[in-house]
Amino acid sequence: MSTTTEPTGTGVWLHAVVAEGPADRTGITGVAGTPVRTVTGPGLAAVVADAPLTEYGEEALRRNLEDLGWLERAARAHHAVVDALSRTGAVVPARLATVYRDDDRVAAMLAERHDELVGTLTRLTGRQEWGVKGYVVPGGTPRVTEPTGVGGAGAAYLRRRRAQLTAREEGQRIAADAAAAVHTALAGYAVSARRHAPQDRRLSGAPTTMVLNGAYLVERAGLDGFSALAGELADRHPELRLELTGPWPPYSFVAEPTAEPAWA
């Protein structure tokens, strides 16, 4: 499978960065099936795993990331490491497929990004990410009212069709407004919040359209309040079905909040 440009040898897959310190990571397996290792820098530890370049080199990754089976396996293996680390303290997860040539390059990155990484770890300490997804509830929005009027079957059809379209637009607006209201309320409680793009139904398998795909950084101690608030919001917005997922490692809050995405 190798080509003349395909490098051979072993790369270093970065799973996450944590604070340096004694930690038992035995039994944590990295992306390629070997135990994770640690590359240390001042006050920081990068948790990495060896990754053969025939599978994890740039060319190979381009190919493999298009393979859903491979992508799922890699995403789950990466997540398993990050999730395990998040149970023992603050963690800065690396994005999927962050691969270095060798440990020296990882150490150089730790030195270069030291202040930012330490700052991020401090900001994430004692906090967890929770996801709240909102789906449209069929029938939770206004029904099409049958307009009456004069005219034949053709005119009646046109009136009905116009009313259906209006109701559909109205329903979309109501669902979007409800999603925005839920997000604003949850964001007000959370330390930090962001909205991911709604998931396509073909991917999520959800029976109805998603209008909210929010992520919220919440203090561990504040979880009960957050979950109670989600319950209240669900009662207040019967036009949405809310789904809470978590706790997640703080994937969505590694970067400092920047410009609001188009979904916000």
Partner 1 sequence: MGVTVLAPSSVDDPSAFRQVALVDLLDRVLATGVVVTGDITLAIADIDLIRISLRALVASVGALAPPEPALGPAFPPVPAETP
Binders in 90-149 for partner 1, by CB under 8 A = 92-101, 105, 109, 113, 117, 120, 129, 131, 136-138, 140-141
Rule CB under 8 A: say whether 214 interacts with partner 1: no
Min dist CB 21 to partner 1, Å, is 19
CB of 130 to partner 1, least distance (A): 10
Put residue 158 in one of left, alpha, beta given phi > 0 → left and psi -120 to 50 → alpha. alpha
Kindly tell me which residue out of 67, 119, 122, 225 binds partner 1, with binding defined by CB under 8 A: 67
Nearest to 136 by CA among 52, 212, 215: 212
182 and 98 in contact (C-beta within 8 Å)?
no
Residues of this chain, 240-259, that bind partner 1 according to CB under 8 A: 240-248, 251-255
The residues pairing with 88 across neighbouring beta strands, listed in sequence order, are none
102 alpha carbon, distance to own chain's centre: 28
CB of 219 to partner 1, least distance (A): 18
Examine residue 40 and tell whether it contacts partner 1 (CB under 8 A). Answer: no
Looking at beta carbons only, is 83 or 219 nearer to partner 1?
83
> Looking at 24-32, 34-42, 55-63, 185-193, which segment touches partner 1 (CB under 8 A)?
55-63
Strand ranges for the chain from DSSP E: 10-19, 37-41, 44-52, 91-93, 99-100, 127-136, 192-195, 210-219, 240-248
